Amino acid sequence: MDIQTIVDISLLTLLAVTALILLRLNNLLAAVLLSGIYSLLTAGLFVSLDAVDVAFTEAAVGAGLTTVLLLGAVAITGREQSVTRHSRILPIAVTTVTAAALIYGTLDMPKFGDPMAPIHTHVAPRYIEMSGEEIGIPNIVTSVLASYRGYDTLGEVTVVFTAAIGVMLLLGGVIKRKSKPKKHE
């Protein structure tokens, strides 16, 4: 076995262990911290798979921004999850329906690595052949994200920024309400 395979197996094993531990936790602070670790492990796996741009996004949003926002929420709400017994049928049903819809949505996709898939016969050849001349950026992924799909990338950044501002405004309103001094009568 080569070193790449060992690294991939190790990261996948750590991801599985982290997910199993997360399922058993009632302490919300520990769950948030383990979620950040899960995101970092995922980013490491993406780097191992040569998807550095996706790894960067996962590290910044998944491990960074999301962890900070969830830590703020835990600071306001408390560390421990309330232990109430609810029926598990509804979450299992929703998960099953969602999984079935996702699987159904992939049934008409081309086979993995199919050279005749639409992505390989329509847009990708143009990006590969012309991006250096048209854009002037030697890295094809960067030229696609920054130029050809620049508006998509701008839209994604705008959505994340708007969500972060919304959460900060919501958390700020809760903090202000908690910190008001109470009038003594």
Please report, in tens digits, the pLDDT of each residue of the chain (185 residues total). 899 899 999 999 999 999 999 988 888 899 999 999 999 999 999 888 877 778 888 888 888 888 888 888 888 887 776 666 777 788 889 999 999 999 999 998 888 888 888 877 888 888 888 888 888 877 888 788 778 777 887 888 888 888 888 877 877 765 555 555 556 55
Q: What residues form DSSP beta bridges with 80?
A: 27
Q: Residue 61: its pLDDT value, please?
A: 85
Spatial contact of 63 and 43, defined as CB atoms under 8 Å apart: yes
Report the alpha-carbon distance of residue 169 to residue 72 in Å, rounded. Answer: 12
- Do residues 13 and 19 make contact, with C-beta atoms less than 8 angstroms apart? no
Global pTM reads: 0.57
- Alpha-carbon span 153 to 83, nearest angstrom: 41
